[in-house]
Amino acid sequence: MRTIRLHDTRTGELLTVEPGDDGHVGIYACGPTVYNRIHIGNARPFVTYLLLARFLRHEGLRPVTVFNITDVNDKIYDRARALGRPSADLAAEMTAAYLQDTDRLGLGRPDHEPTAVGTIDAIVALIGDLIAAGHAYAAQGDVYFRVRSDPEYGSLSHRDVDQMDQGEGDDPVGASLKEDPLDFALWKAEKPEEDTSWPAPWGAGRPGWHIECSAMAEELLGVGFQVHGGGSDLVFPHHENEASQTRSARGAELARIWAHVGMLQTGGEKMAKSVGNIESLPDAVDRWGRDTLVLFFAGGHYRQPVSYTDAALEQAAAGVRRLREVGRRLVDGPSPEALAPLVSRFFDALADDFTTPAALPALWEWVREANARVDRGQEVGRDGLAEMLEVMALDNLLREDDDGAAGPDAEALELLARRQAARRAKDYSEADRLRDELAARGWEVRDSADGPALVPR
């Protein structure tokens, strides 16, 4: 088995992934706050960590992936209030949309997808432990974490404690209750304008954002699991606070390696709802197709920012076509032994901080050499290419047949056109219903850069 190393944000070094005795490797990634549909930038961590899990599985390990869903949060309350809806209903609707949208990436689901609402008891227990240890205090129904009680606070984000701002300055009531402006909320007392709350020893209310992830990660992976992930914008304050909470309550680090994913950018700025430069994930899949998006993400190193441009997506779409074309020229069976070093080079690059931009050139060299051999009249087996593409979740490109089977009838094409119209109108429930109707007729909708197509199921 290869030695697998990932860059750790805390130490700035490449650390070796150290599986448990049974090959177990815990991976926790911060998922969405479900107050709106996710955009394509939110999808980058989802893709990255599931591809990483595929690679670990290829290497004989047993990854266990946990991607949380934050369904209690200020943003949810604020948007529900603006829409005149119960916050729980909005969160449930957006959770369902998130699951549907990410399903379209064709990567499968994480092993566990806990919610904050489903983890309230563990959250309350963890807060109680922090209070008992003197690292937190109750104040008029709120509970705050004593930042200065942790001498290692700031070790993840490499910031001076006195220069940190928790971003809670817009809460004057909370600010007046804190012992220190640096402290942050673990529990927020119920408020008249918020329509959900849960009982706790210090008063009814709901959890703060940071404590949710500490509790969910510990409950499913324990303390000291291998990899904690999320976008690089979460290093501070979210992940710094997570690490500090668990360290203070348990006397141990929450995770060994903190592996952060760079932001998706448009026009030199990170993609964000607050900036207004977003494209929803469903719109991106409709426009480019899941295969193009997955190959686009693999083209950049996970730690670096990536520019989301039409030119970059067109290049990825051309790569998808190239893979599909070579797949039609290959035969079932082992690949030539002379191509084996390219396969090894591909996986060696992934073992070195999951460096997909160094792995893909080996894949493209394999394709060039295979095409050259076929041009010379040789038969080339697809096994080596399939092995690489399976880890990239693109092995479907080798399974797509082009055998001239009868095409869709007029009714199926009409349903497809209606689905596209519903997508453009952002009527996603109707679009999903039409997709299911097509599936019942024996057709799978396959999205690509050239538009949607119907493929026999």
Same domain, 274 and 309: yes
404 in a domain, yes or no?
Answer: no
Helices (H), 118-273: 120-132, 172-177, 209-221, 240-250
- Mean pLDDT (the chain) is 92
Residue where one domain finishes, among candidates 366, 399, 432: 399
Which of 372, 399, 426 is the last residue before a domain boundary? 399
Residue 457 has pLDDT above 80, yes or no: no
Residue 104 lies in a domain: yes
pLDDT classification of 141: cutoffs 50, 70, 90: very high
Q: Note the pLDDT tens digit of each residue in 291-301.
A: 999 999 999 99
Count other C-beta atoms under 10 Å from residue 36's C-beta: 18
Task: List pLDDT tens digits, range 315-332.
Answer: 999 999 999 999 999 999
Assess whether 347 and 417 both reside in one domain.
no
On the question of pLDDT at 404 being above 70, the answer is no
Give a yes or no: residue 103 inside a domain. yes
The stretch 205-232 carries a mean pLDDT of 98
Reported as a single tens digit per residue, the pLDDT across 410-439 is 788 888 888 888 887 878 788 889 988 888
Q: Which residue type is seen at 363?
A: L
Q: How many CB atoms lie within 10 A of CB 96?
A: 13
Q: What is the pLDDT of residue 448?
A: 59
Q: Are residues 290 and 341 in the same domain?
A: yes
In terms of residue numbers, what domain contains 441?
Answer: 410-456
Please tell me whether residues 102 and 182 are part of one structural domain: yes
Q: Could you tell me what percent of the chain has a pLDDT over 70?
A: 95
Verify that 381 and 417 share a domain, yes or no. Answer: no
pTM: 0.87
Give the pLDDT score at 449: 54
**Calpha distance 253→226 (Å, rounded):** 10
Mean pLDDT of 222-238: 97
Burial of 411 (0-12, 13-18, 19+ CB in 10 A): exposed
Cβ–Cβ < 8 Å for 392, 105 = no
Q: Are residues 126 and 193 in the same domain?
A: yes
446 vs 227, higher pLDDT: 227
User: How many domains are there within the chain?
Assistant: 3
Residue 315: how many CA atoms within 13 Å on its side-chain side?
A: 10
Say which residues have a Cβ less than 8 Å from residue 146's Cβ, sequence separation at least 6. 134, 135, 136, 137, 179, 180, 183
pLDDT at 259: 98
Q: Is the pLDDT of residue 453 over 50?
A: yes
List the single range of 55-69, 359-373, 412-426 with lowest mean pLDDT.
412-426
Residue 7 falls inside a structural domain: no
Same domain flag for 38 and 185 = yes
| Band of residue 456 on the pLDDT scale cut at 50, 70, 90 | low
Q: For 74-131, write each residue's pLDDT tens digit.
A: 999 999 999 999 999 999 999 999 999 999 999 999 999 999 999 999 999 999 999 9
> Is 114 part of any domain?
yes
User: Which stretches within 206-277 are classed as H helix?
Assistant: 209-221, 240-250
Q: Is residue 15 part of a domain?
A: no
Residue 273 pLDDT exceeds 90: no
pLDDT at 402 over 50: no
Backbone angles phi, psi at 162, to 5 degrees: -70, -15
CATH number of the domain encompassing residue 327: 1.10.730.10
Last residue of a domain, one of 261, 279, 304: 261
